[in-house]
Structure formats: structure tokens, C-alpha cells
């Protein structure tokens, strides 16, 4: 039995994928404009999202559908904890809280798990395959943009238990295509994946205000320094 779900998900989420990439925060990120305060808030939000996904996938690890795409080596919780320690310090657990968009995202994951656990396939696909596909590119951008050194603050993008990401993705897609789901369930999974893209977009949009404010402050500081330097040079010349 073949559901061709990987193909259906790829084709069925193309529009959502493009829309997500065109959110201001993501466009800035891809262009190398990454502000540390906004980024660490994103890491915090992702922590709560991945905790929910991984707890629910673990809960349903013997489910007739979910058992086929249960890959603990994808788990991001511990890597995000490392990053949160780096960005917030030893007391990070007292410092972080999910934003409204992250809360809604987590609530949806819990709701799906309770009522239609097979739809967790969409939540897994949307986050993990994206992490594997674009993770190394985003890792390099984050390192350069925030002047990160010694591999600190980017554990989220590291998959030490997956030595060959290309082969793993091929295996993951094969597992999706062979899932024992009918056409109606496959369609609901695609719909859920589009909803997941939408929830990710809302988290990104929340961060745009912080990013714009930070960029404005950087520009203001730069102009102030230039004016100060110009005044000093004028005073010296006089």
C-alpha cells in the first residue's frame, strides 16, 4: 500500500511554504539580518513547540500510523535547551515563556494528539523536514550574523545522530509514502501541514516588531556615532 503522502505534502504545501519564506522576519534572516534578542525569543518559542511535538509522538510511538515516522534521533528538545542556556544563562527556565502564537501552536498539537493523533504526521513533517533541509544554511547565517563562535548557540541545527542527512530525508519520505492511510486521511494531513505552516508564520510575525525596532536602534546608533565623529573632527580642525 502506498499513500504517496510525501508527494502530496510537498505539492499541497507549496503555497504555504512560499508564504512562510516571505514573512519579514524570515526574509531578513535569509538575508543575514539576525538580531540576537529576537532570535533567542524564537529559540524559546521553538522549545515549547518541540516539547509538545516530541511528548505527543512519544506518547503515540506504537500508533499504527505514527510508529512508522517515529524517529527519536530528530528530537530537538535537548539541543534547544543547550541554546537557551547559552542565550539566557543557567536560570533560563525561569526566563522563558511561550508567546501567544507559540501557546496557540502548542495547544493545537495537544488537541490533535488527543482527537486525531495521525495528524501529528503533519506537525512532524513541517518542522523536522524543514530543519534537515535548510538547517545548515540557517546555521551559517546565524553564526555570521550574530558573530557566534565555538559552535555555541546553534545546537538546534545540529543532528549528531544523523550522519547522512540526505539519506535520512529519503528514508523519511519513503516512510511517509508507505503510511497506511486512506485518501481522506492523507488530505486531512495535508490540511494540517498547511495549518502548521500558518502557526509558524504567526510566531515569526510576532518577532517582526522586535526586529524592526532593533534595526532602527542600530541605524540610530550608527548615525549618532557618525555625527559624533564628525563633530569631533570639526572641533579638532578648528
CB 65 within 8 A of CB 118: yes
The pLDDT assigned to 3 comes to: 82
d(CA 236, CA 238): 5
Identify the pLDDT of residue 203. Answer: 95
Q: For position 223, what pLDDT does the model report?
A: 58
Report d(CA 63, CA 102) in Å as an integer.
Answer: 26
Q: What is the pLDDT of residue 8?
A: 97
What is the CATH number assigned to the segment(s) 5-224? 1.20.910.10
Within the chain, what is the greatest distance between any pair of CA atoms? 85
Mean pLDDT by 10 residues, the chain (238 residues): 88 95 89 89 97 98 97 97 97 97 98 98 96 86 87 92 95 96 97 97 86 52 57 51
Predicted pLDDT of residue 220: 46
**Contact residues for 208 (Cβ-Cβ < 8 A; gap 6+):** 23, 24, 25
pLDDT at 164: 94
Q: Where are the domains of the chain?
A: 5-224
Contact (Cβ atoms closer than 8 angstroms) between residue 215 and residue 164: no
Amino acid at each position: 500500500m502506498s499513500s504517496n503522502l510525501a508527494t502530496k505534502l510537498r505539492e499541497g504545501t507549496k503555497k504555504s511554504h512560499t508564504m512562510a519564506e516571505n514573512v519579514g522576519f524570515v526574509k531578513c534572516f535569509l538575508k543575514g539580518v539576525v538580531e540576537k534578542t529576537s532570535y533567542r525569543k524564537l529559540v524559546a518559542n521553538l522549545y515549547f513547540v518541540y516539547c509538545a511535538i516530541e511528548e505527543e509522538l512519544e506518547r503515540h510511538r506504537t500508533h499504527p500510523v505514527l510508529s512508522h515516522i517515529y524517529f527519536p534521533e530528530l528530537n530537538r528538545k535537548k539541543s534547544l535547551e543547550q541554546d537557551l542556556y547559552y542565550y539566557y544563562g543557567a536560570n533560563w527556565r525561569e526566563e522563558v515563556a511561550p508567546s501567544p502564537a507559540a501557546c496557540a501552536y502548542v495547544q493545537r498539537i495537544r488537541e490533535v494528539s488527543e482527537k486525531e493523533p495521525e495528524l501529528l504526521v503533519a506537525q512532524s513533517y513541517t518542522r523536522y523536514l524543514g530543519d534537515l533541509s535548510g538547517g545548515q544554511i540557517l546555521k551559517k547565517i546565524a553564526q555570521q550574523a550574530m558573530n557566534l563562535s565555538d559552535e555555541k548557540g546553534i545546537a538546534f541545527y545540529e543532528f549528531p545522530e544523523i550522519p547522512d542527512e540526505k539519506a535520512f530525508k529519503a528514508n523519511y519520505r519513503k516512510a511517509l509514502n508507505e503510511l497506511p492511510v486512506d485518501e481522506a486521511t492523507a488530505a486531512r494531513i495535508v490540511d494540517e501541514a498547511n495549518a502548521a505552516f500558518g502557526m509558524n508564520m504567526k510566531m515569526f510575525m510576532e518577532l517582526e516588531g522586535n526586529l524592526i525596532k532593533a534595526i532602527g536602534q542600530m541605524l540610530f546608533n550608527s548615525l549618532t556615532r557618525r555625527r559624533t565623529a564628525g563633530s569631533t573632527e570639526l572641533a579638532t580642525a578648528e
